[in-house]
Amino acid sequence: MTIYSNIGKPNKRIDALDKVTGGAKYIDDLKLPGMLYAKIKRSKFPHANILHVDTSNAEKLSGVKAVVTGKEFAANFNNPVFGDPLADQPFLAVEKVRYIGEPIAVVAAISQEIAEEALDLIRVEYEQLPTVLNIEDALKCDAPLIHEDSKNYKYSPGFKPTENTNICRYIEITNGNIEKGFKEAAFIFEDTFTSHSTHHVPMECRAAIAQFNPDDSITVWASDQSPYGGRNLIAAALKISESKVRVITPSYIGGGFGGKLRLSGSMPIIAIAWKTNHRPVKIVLTREEEFTSTTIRHASIVKLKTGVKKDGTIVSRYAKVMLDTGAYADRGPTVLGKATGTSIGPYKIPNVKVEGYCVYTNKAIAGAYRGYGNPQVCWAYESQMDIIANKLGIDPIDIRLKNMVEEGYITSTEKQEAHAVGLAECLIKVKEDISQKREEKIIENRKRGNGIACSYKISRTPSGANAFIKLNSDAGADIFVSSIEMGQGVNTIFAQIVAEELTIPFDNIRVLPADTDITPFFPASTSSRTTFFLGNAVKKAAQDIKEQLFKIAMDILEVDKEDLALERGSFFVKGAPEKKLKITEIMEKTYPGGISILGRGTYYHYKLGNLPSHVKVGIPPTLVWMYGSQGVTIDIDTETGRVKILKISAAHDVGKAINPVTCEGQIEGGVLQAVGNAMFEELLFNEQGKIINSSLLDYKIPSALDMPEINPILVEEPHREGPYGAKGLGEIVMVPTAAAIAIAIYNAVGIRIKDLPITPDKILKLLKVN
Amino acid sequence: MTIYSNIGKPNKRIDALDKVTGGAKYIDDLKLPGMLYAKIKRSKFPHANILHVDTSNAEKLSGVKAVVTGKEFAANFNNPVFGDPLADQPFLAVEKVRYIGEPIAVVAAISQEIAEEALDLIRVEYEQLPTVLNIEDALKCDAPLIHEDSKNYKYSPGFKPTENTNICRYIEITNGNIEKGFKEAAFIFEDTFTSHSTHHVPMECRAAIAQFNPDDSITVWASDQSPYGGRNLIAAALKISESKVRVITPSYIGGGFGGKLRLSGSMPIIAIAWKTNHRPVKIVLTREEEFTSTTIRHASIVKLKTGVKKDGTIVSRYAKVMLDTGAYADRGPTVLGKATGTSIGPYKIPNVKVEGYCVYTNKAIAGAYRGYGNPQVCWAYESQMDIIANKLGIDPIDIRLKNMVEEGYITSTEKQEAHAVGLAECLIKVKEDISQKREEKIIENRKRGNGIACSYKISRTPSGANAFIKLNSDAGADIFVSSIEMGQGVNTIFAQIVAEELTIPFDNIRVLPADTDITPFFPASTSSRTTFFLGNAVKKAAQDIKEQLFKIAMDILEVDKEDLALERGSFFVKGAPEKKLKITEIMEKTYPGGISILGRGTYYHYKLGNLPSHVKVGIPPTLVWMYGSQGVTIDIDTETGRVKILKISAAHDVGKAINPVTCEGQIEGGVLQAVGNAMFEELLFNEQGKIINSSLLDYKIPSALDMPEINPILVEEPHREGPYGAKGLGEIVMVPTAAAIAIAIYNAVGIRIKDLPITPDKILKLLKVN
């Protein structure tokens, strides 16, 4: 076993001091010379043609410097629409609006107050259109079309929307023979599970500043998880070179969870910046705007038909996955891809058919949300797995172990090799932990139950990552990466990797904030990819520096590489430890006039079977699978329907915990967020499709008082390509929670909840039926 | 001859648009959250003990947030003093003041006005001390000591000050046998030449912002030529790790000329930032402060005793070089090094003795100034060369050519090999240009004369440079360098180098501003080193990228490297031009998920005979010599003494003109600055050592109306290690001008001026004597 000096250690987070002292800076702390403030005029109808927008009175208001309408912006940039993989969204609505809250015009003024005042002076004439507010209605043959012209949209290969429907993506996946599979089955289970819309609720609302420069380049400062993604989206939409767009994030963003992706919700700032005569213009969304006009989690309907043998072997599954993506596609089509791909669960099911529908409705746009479609399908497949186990009388642990994928298995939906499957260990550890007898006394009208669920998730590929490192002459180092520190602790991980490789003090390592002109490529801090992909790039860049140092040390000490060791910032000759040379001495002796030692690292991960013919890699690439299992103990009050979570055991296979404390933090935070999604949070829409609980008073997220006991359990099944074996963790932690809670409720009182969220009134209703 | 696509071309400056639109940002444009404004309380005596500083009333003023005194700051940081190579300067005066204008205390307030008002509320009690105001007085045995404790100062090897004197550096250089040399001579010439104090007068006065961060690191934003130099100076003085200090320069600084070096004149901002409770604090010097309290050019006395054979061969020289460095050493000791080293001129003089004295006086601090001691000694050696030529009746061109160093000659002061000596060509071209008959009619009382002078200069070594380059997937590139764009056009040069190496469009290349946490090491944008040293590093970084691209292109096109060519952004197979692959295609085909291609480059140049034993270099390193010659035609009014410069021919050996237009711009600007130094500018001190003409009304710099016809002539004698053969140019352009003007005056009216500046009253006086 390799002994590490920094890897696997609970190093203090390098952002700790900044955070506790208030020194951390966010977009709203940034003031630029001549900066203006923007406010957005939004649609009050869910579906309507825009007949006329009159901005003349707004323009006359003292302090207003510019007003822009969708029509004006579209005319100048030849109808720019953005969206990846499907370009369907205007910066501001042009011909029609498709949801309540859609941006129509933007005002820039010398103060927020004036900009706000000007909004009321903008007159919009609408012609209302029939609306579509849920998946079923949207899929009807005679449903009003939300995007009549979708056949002319630009899309990435494989992402063609279905013409003359509200289907923005349809997916069909088959493996084996589904009919034969059902024939082989002794039992067939058919169930439908639904989930609701929720919001990420980051502490920091979206904020951005944009400036058009005299050379026609655009600079954007944004609270965003994907500066490169945002850059490319803007460049593609405006039909300019990507090098003409610079996206800068501050050192920190106040939470993301998939929401702050590619400037979602902030794009109108580009439109108004175009009109401010090179002055920068800032927007900070209000909490209400954050709720209603950014991106939300996909509401879903998942129908599962599963064929099982008497011994519990699952032989066939048909899954129909339907996601409500709201008025525009955003990341919906790829969320559907991930949801359909994992709709069979981490199980060996030979005969499979999956159909997926991502559908437009006249509601707020759904996009990426921590878990990326996996929570919705896991909610279904794990709930049904419990139904199957109960029906067949098989222990829920055993039936899962029996069907679980194993090393080398080629999965039937993704057609990828399963690798480093630590799931069985997770499941067994959770079982051991959750079954421990709890001391609390059960009082009257209260029932106790346990539930366990499994989950898996993959990171998107192909995916690349770059890193630069600069080693200063005092053996301090600066790391250049385009990842975003949004609470997950990624900067600490990278500093640990560099400290490990170069054996330099952890405290002298810094990580630069992302800036597409400075920090090299990384697609986005999403998909639980950062530690794996970018960790590898950082490690390679550090090794690039190490090699240069070794070469000089070999010259100075006149020994071969094999005879040289690097420890605690010094090289020494093996067997002659008195022959020692500090890294700082190496630099001073070789470069008396000063120098930095520079390192560069690039890591690229392909999808199996998807390698360009000229690319040769040593180990066949596989997807980066992440596995986890959670067990829940609950207490239920049968008179009120109130559920109290007593404990959640959350075992997750991290490959290698580079920093166990940040891993545990990820688990605790994610599990709590999953509890919120399962039991507390729900975006409520009125009959017009308007979100009616768009404040933190009305939209409940769990507070410290709602925090159950969470026991994070770290399992380490190393990935052969991961840095020190590490895999991702950020999303998987919130995938199985809802199912485990519902299963625990069934275990306690025998009612089966199939519609999220789990609320006391639903429980009471079901208890009465029983 | 190599054919280049970008090198040698007059590409448009990449900063042009920023400059003409006012988009260029400087320190004073920067506003940080919570920022305070500082003003400095300065000494009103040239030499005095500080008995007491009472800041209590200032602290009580509403809006004042902090006041710091030298004593307080010194106590906290264990008497920090800065200075390289000699640490002799406190951030604020502690025990005593040594010049009028020396910082004593600093106030930070919510506005500049309040800070200014608070200064008057600070009471300083002094005890006056006897003063020393010129070189001769300073060198007297009984002179009052300005630094009594200089023996305890820290200094770099070779820079020990002379104990119990005002000599902060003494240098003695010998070669051959000076006495034998004088015996061999037919004629011996003894002359003394003096020069005066001048100021750089950058358009932008010094400005800086400093902030102490919660983790005890310090961030400084400064208008400075040497962010790494400033970083190291602060770290060394405060005894903290250099990685704990971050120095950031904005995209541009408004002129430097050696003045804005290592935060000279701005260091008190560090002291006050320590007291503002982590709030950033800004200082912008007034023009008066800029003149009196930053750094100025060394006034000098240069005595030359030169032995010459009848045929004009110079056989021996004794030189005594004395520089007035003012109250603190700053760069004075190294300026003396360069002045003494080149005091023999670019000539083969076998028997040499040089003595140099850098002396303290109770005046403003002298430091680096474009030319770095060379203008002062060139003024002497070229003036004397004309005296010699006249006395011996030898043509001034011939005597120079006869004695001129040539390829491979080991110089007798620097003991370095002369390489790429384009001086003879410069001299001949100037002769041809200046002797062309001018059409203007000579009117009564006006005499015309020509003068020619030669010059040389070296860049400091050992010296290293690093560069990163990031190639984006659209074949745009970002260059990471710590050089400073201060008008000289360096960013354009680097973009041309990268465009040349990668054959990508020049317009898609950007250069990042310097920031010690981001851009890698470069000691300073001084010493005419940037194009040579950093140009090489940038070229190497671009080649690093090119190699990676070649490797992929070879794989895709399945050909060997020899069969592949890169032109206009595409690879093609030689002999089969239809087999073509754009750089963007290479990246897209290999990295469909996106990537940057990263390059790193390090260039290091040692001094001959100074290589660490383990370092092997292919070509023996030599100093980077720069050569140039200038010829001046003047018209002199014998009634008023007024001199009109009709034309200056300035031929400079640039090795290779990477951008001929920026080279010509350097020559034009430098020559005009030299004319200003020679004829317009002079810092005037009163009997207390106070500068009395500290405004642009009273201190005259040449205006557009004073601009003579300047004809820049580019000579290209390639340096074997220079990028494409290029050498430096920035300083040499102002070295020979003063001598050439004085020689032209002698040529016109037969009077010999040996004391700069050349003013009408001096001329009239000498004309009367004649």
Distance from CA of A475 to the nearest CA of B (A): 8
Residue with tokens 């300035």: B650
Size of interface A-B (CB pairs under 8 A): 184
Question: Residue A94 in 3-state DSSP?
Answer: coil
Question: What is the amino acid identity at position A507?
Answer: D
Is A523's Cβ below 8 Å from some Cβ in B? yes
CB contact residues (below 8 A), chain B span 530-549, against chain A = 544
pLDDT at A460 over 90: no
Contacts of B552 in chain A (CB under 8 A): 614
pLDDT (0 to 100) of residue B253: 95
- What CA–CA distance (Å, rounded) separates A425 from A717? 9
Residue A567 and residue A3 in contact, taking contact as beta carbons nearer than 8 Å: no
**Segment A521-556, tens digit of pLDDT:** 999 999 999 999 999 999 999 999 999 999 999 999
Contact B763, B643 (CB under 8 A): yes
pLDDT reading at A438 higher than 70: no
pLDDT at B441: 66
Q: Has residue B159 got a pLDDT over 80?
A: yes
Contact (Cβ atoms closer than 8 angstroms) between residue A333 and residue A298: no
CB A304 within 8 A of CB A356: no
Label residue A620 by pLDDT band (50, 70, 90).
Answer: low
pLDDT classification of B402: cutoffs 50, 70, 90 = very high
Residues of B in contact with A214 (CB under 8 A): 17-18, 21, 23
A436 vs B366, higher pLDDT: B366
* Contact call for residues B699 and B683 (beta carbons, < 8 A): yes
**Pairing state between β B299-308 and B187-195:** antiparallel
Averaged pLDDT, B226-255: 96
The CA-based angle B457-B458-B460, given to 5 degrees, is 140
| Buried b / exposed e along B458-476 (16+ C-beta atoms within 10 A) | bbbbbbbbbbbbbbbbbbb
- The 3-state DSSP composition of chain B as helix, strand, coil percent (nearest 5) reads 30, 25, 45
Q: What local confidence, expressed as pLDDT, does residue B209 receive?
A: 98
Cβ-contact A509, A471 below 8 angstroms:
no
Lowest mean pLDDT segment, chosen from B249-263, B437-451, B602-616: B437-451
Main-chain phi, psi angles of B637, to 5 degrees: -90, 110
**Is B517's CB within 8 Å of A512's CB?**
yes
> For position B438, what pLDDT does the model report?
63
**Any bridge partners for residue B567, and if so which?**
B570
SS3 of residue A260 by DSSP = coil
Instruction: Indicate whether B439 pLDDT > 80.
Output: no
Instruction: With beta carbons less than 8 A apart as the criterion, state whether B764 and B641 touch.
Output: yes
What is the predicted pLDDT for the residue at A180?
Answer: 97
Binned at pLDDT 50, 70 and 90, residue A23 comes out as confident
A163 touches chain B (CB under 8 A): no
Q: Which residues does chain B have within 8 Å of residue A498's beta carbon, measured at their own beta carbons? A: none
Q: Which of B470, B591, B614 sits opposite A520 (nearest CB)?
A: B470
Pick the closest to residue B199 from B104, B265, B103, B102 (CA basis): B265
Looking at this predicted complex, what is its ipTM? 0.94
Q: Do B466 and A510 touch (CB under 8 A)?
A: no
Backbone region of residue A530 per phi and psi (left: phi > 0; alpha: psi in -120 to 50; beta: other values): alpha
Contact A642, A673 (CB under 8 A): no
Query: What is the Cα–Cα distance from B638 to A143, expressed in whole angstroms?
Result: 99
Measured in angstroms, the CA of A539 and the nearest CA of chain B are apart by: 15
Burial (Cβ within 10 Å: 0-12, 13-18, ≥19) of residue A578 = exposed
DSSP line for B376-416: HHHHHHHHHHHHHHHHHT--HHHHHHHHB--TTPBPTTT--
Number of neighbours of residue A643 by Cβ within 10 angstroms: 24
Neighbouring residues of B379: CB distance < 8 A, sequence distance ≥ 6: B193, B195, B302, B738, B739, B742, B756
| Average pLDDT for B604-620 | 80
Q: For chain B, what's the residue count?
A: 770
State how far residue B529 is from chain A, nearest Cα, in angstroms.
13
Residue A599 contacts residue A544 (beta carbons within 8 Å): yes
Q: Exposure of B615 by Cβ count < 10 A (0-12 exposed, 13-18 middle, 19+ buried)?
A: middle
- Is B97:B689 a contact under the CB 8 Å cutoff? no
CB A661 within 8 A of CB A723: no
Which structure tokens are listed for B379?
A: 């003024």
Q: Please compute, for residue B104, the number of CA atoms within 13 A of its CA located in the half-sphere on the CB side.
A: 29
Per-residue pLDDT at A607: 81
Q: Residue B476: its chain A contacts at CB < 8 A? A: 241-244
Match 């999953």 to its residue by tokens. A674
Of A160, A120, A115, A162, give the one whose Cα is nearest residue A138: A162
Contacts of B23 in chain A (CB under 8 A): 213-214, 278
- B437 pLDDT more than 70: no
Q: How far is A520 from chain B (nearest CA, A)?
A: 6
Which residues in A lie closer than 8 A to residue B228 (C-beta atoms)? 594
Kind and range of the H or E run holding A669: helix A660-675
Q: How far apart are CA B648 and CA B741, in angstroms?
A: 9
Contact B666, B676 (CB under 8 A): no
Mutate which: B84, B595, B615, vs A, most A CBs within 10 A: B595
Whether chain A has a CB inside 8 Å of the CB on B480: the answer is yes
Q: Would you call B649 an interface residue with chain A, using a CB distance cutoff of 8 Å?
A: no
| pTM of the model as a whole | 0.96
Q: How far apart are CA A184 and CA A166, in angstroms?
A: 36
Q: What is the overall mean pLDDT for chain B?
A: 96
Task: Give the separation between CA B754 and CA A206, rounded to whole angstroms.
Answer: 69
pLDDT in tens, A80-124: 999 999 999 999 999 999 999 999 999 999 999 999 999 999 999
From the list A242, A464, A510, the residue facing B517 with the nearest CB is A510
Q: Is the model's pLDDT at A299 over the cut of 90? A: yes
Q: What is the pLDDT of residue A439?
A: 60
- How are beta strands A625-637 and A643-653 bridged, if at all? antiparallel
Residues in contact with A423: Cβ distance below 8 Å, sequence separation at least 6, in sequence order = A346, A404, A405, A454, A456, A627, A628, A629, A653
Predicted confidence at residue B65, as pLDDT, reads 98
At residue B725, φ and ψ (nearest 5 deg) are 95, -5
State the nearest Cα–Cα gap between B463 and chain A, in angstroms: 5
Q: Is A278 on the interface with B (CB under 8 A)?
A: yes
How far is residue B213's CA from residue B462's CA, in Å, rounded to a whole number? Answer: 34
Touching check for B593 and chain A: CB below 8 Å?
A: yes
CA-closest candidate to residue A583, choices A512, A510, A501, A479: A501
Instruction: Name the region of A83 (left: φ>0; alpha: ψ -120 to 50; beta: rest).
Output: left
Strand partners of residue B103: B42
Assess whether pLDDT exceeds 70 at residue B595. yes
Q: CA-nearest residue of chain B to A541? A: B598
Tell me the two tokens of residue A47.
């579906």
Residue B66, Ramachandran bin (φ over 0: left; ψ between -120 and 50: alpha; else beta): beta
Which residues sit opposite A105 in a β-bridge?
A41, A69
Gap from B115 CA to chain A (nearest CA, Å): 22
Cα–Cα nearest to B497, from B451, B545, B453: B545
Shortest Cα–Cα distance, A590 to chain B (Å): 6
Give the pLDDT mean for B595-620: 86
Tell me the CB-side half-sphere exposure of residue A157, using CA atoms within 13 A: 1
Portion 596-635 of B in contact with A at CB < 8 A: 596-602, 604, 612, 614-615
The stretch B429-442 carries a mean pLDDT of 78
Q: What average pLDDT does range A605-629 have in this prediction? A: 83
Query: CB under 8 Å to B383, separation ≥6 — which residues?
Result: B191, B193, B739, B742, B743, B752, B754
